[in-house]
Amino acid sequence: MNIRRLVFKEIAYRKVNFALSVVCVAVAVASVVGAMVVLKGHDVRTGEILAAKGAETEKQMKALDGDVARSMLKLGFNVVVLPKDQNLGDWYADDFGAKYMPEEYVERLANSKIMTVRHLLPSLQQKLVWPETKRTIILIGTRGEVPNIHKSAKKPLIEPVAWGTIVVGYELHQSLELKADETVTLLGREFTIAKCHGERGNKDDITLWIHLGQAQEMLDKEGKISAILALECACAWADIAKVRQEICGLLPETQVVEKGSQAIARAETRKRVAEEATAAMEREKQFRGNLKRGRENFASVLVCVVIAACAFIVGALAYGNVRSRRWEVGVLRSMGYRSKQILGLFLSKAALTGVLGGLGGIVIGIASGVAGFGYLEGNGGETIGVSELFAGSYESWMILFVSIIVITPVFSAVASWIPSVAAVRQDPADILCTEGV
């Protein structure tokens, strides 16, 4: 007859007492495991929400990238290369230059290795009165895009105006009732209307575009241009200083100004959207963080209260059990049982209570934590799967569970320790006298 057999026999005899103790330990463990499951579930769900938001933002950003690219393609010019002696105040006021530079500059720029500039459009511009119609117009001579030999061929943004043809701005063709393929006279020369532009709501509406060579002849500016419109790639929009530095380095007799560009506005809008998305992510993170802190605080209080209550109940049950078995202690001592053996009798029962309660508590804790998480998240009962819960943190869960299996017997033994030691330390003769030998 060993202590183990005595323990099991006693447990079988006092089933209710033992079951209550196991349930108490299981509840205490379940509260810890349940809280851990809820908090882990919170982390997993937070990760999912942020990943979904991140993916959505990424998608929006890609869509915006497309929009910006399309906008850039249509809107074109970002910088204007002007002669160095051009008064910028006049240029900004009149929106065209009165100074000139060699047309050869555009060739030099096109043949350079400047990577930030993609599309080059030389032009000769002059504001004048259209003598045949008495209308003030802006005459632009353009030769189309000058190919850059160091870059891959791209579709030109603007088609050149053919010799002898003219493109007419909206206000002009509307007021003069001009139509495509008609013939108009400008400064004594006849031109066939190649195209009538739609309304743009800017100076383009009073502009006439002709071939650069013809404009140079008509304005007596052969080999001269007044500006090079440079359309740079989308990646350079945020670094205009670099574009300016590169061009001025190649063409010292020029100056570079930024063209008020809708593309930049769009890019800024895109940036703001990105910032807003980031802010939204931060707000979500903050919300989830606050929610987690609230849950942690609640869980820590709940767990402490539950553990304290369960420890008290386990202790009280142990005390009651020891108290009702005092005479048994006296009898066993009279038979020659050592005090350590009798202490082992009570503490091994407590340890077994802890092991069973710990195992039960783990199962109950996972189940209640999973169910409780679904309730707390309020997603119509949608909760976290056990596999999702363990994914990526299997080892830490195992460490927790092993710790519980180790700690709960100690926890139960500690709760039973005082009454057990008190009973064992008591003089067996006192017990036997008190119990009415």
Partner 1 sequence: MLEVTNISKRFVKDGIIIHALCGVDITVGSGEFVVVSGASGSGKTTLLLGASGLMRPDGGEVVIDGQRPYELADNARSGLLASKTGFVFQQFHLIPYLNVIDNVLVRSGAAGSRFRRGRGEELIGKFGLSERVKHYPAQLSTGEKQRVALARALYNEPKLILADEPTGNLDDENSRIVLGYLSEFAENGGAVLVVSHDSKVSEFAGRCIELECGKIVGEKVV
Instruction: Name the one residue in this structure whose structure tokens are 């036997």.
Output: 432
CB of 420 to partner 1, least distance (A): 16
Examine residue 436 and tell whether it contacts partner 1 (CB under 8 A): yes
Q: Is 432 in the site for partner 1 (CB under 8 A)?
A: yes
Question: How far is residue 329 CA from its own chain's centroid?
Answer: 67
Question: Is 3 one of the binding residues for partner 1 (CB under 8 A)?
Answer: yes
Nearest to 181 by CA among 170, 189, 191, 169: 191
Closest to partner 1 by CB, 262 vs 341, is: 341
Residues in contact with 101: Cβ distance below 8 Å, sequence separation at least 6, in sequence order: 82, 83, 224, 225, 226, 253, 254
Smallest gap from Cβ 332 to partner 1, in A, equals 8
Q: CA–CA distance from 3 to each of 10, 32, 47, 67, 144 (Å)? A: 10, 32, 52, 81, 103
Distance of CA 229 to the CA centre of its chain: 38
- Which of 63, 280, 410, 437: binder of partner 1 (CB under 8 A)? 437
Contact with partner 1 (CB under 8 A) among 136, 286, 334, 434 = 334
Q: Say which amino acid occupies 291.
A: L
Query: Which residues inside 248-267 make contact with partner 1, applying CB under 8 A?
Result: none
Interface with partner 1 (CB under 8 A), residue from 48, 132, 253, 427: 427
Is 133 or 341 the residue whose CB approaches partner 1 more closely? 341
CB closer to partner 1, 329 vs 413: 329
Query: Total binding residues for partner 1 by CB under 8 A?
Result: 32
CA distances from 200 to 171, 197, 204, 205, 315 (A): 9, 8, 7, 6, 87
The interface mask with partner 1, positions 339-378, x = CB under 8 A, is x-x-------------------------------------
Instruction: Decide: is 9 part of the binding site for partner 1 (CB under 8 A).
Output: yes
Stretch that binds partner 1, among 206-214, 233-241, 391-399, 426-434 (CB under 8 A): 426-434
Could you tell me which stretch among 91-99, 107-115, 334-342, 388-396 binds partner 1 (CB under 8 A)?
A: 334-342
User: Is 323 one of the binding residues for partner 1 (CB under 8 A)?
Assistant: no
Q: Does 2 bind partner 1 (CB under 8 A)?
A: yes
Q: Which of residues 146-185 bind partner 1 (CB under 8 A)?
A: none
Among 20, 194, 331, 407, binds partner 1 (CB under 8 A): 331
Residues that bind partner 1 (CB under 8 A): 1-3, 5-6, 9-10, 12-14, 327-328, 330-339, 341, 427-430, 432-433, 435-437
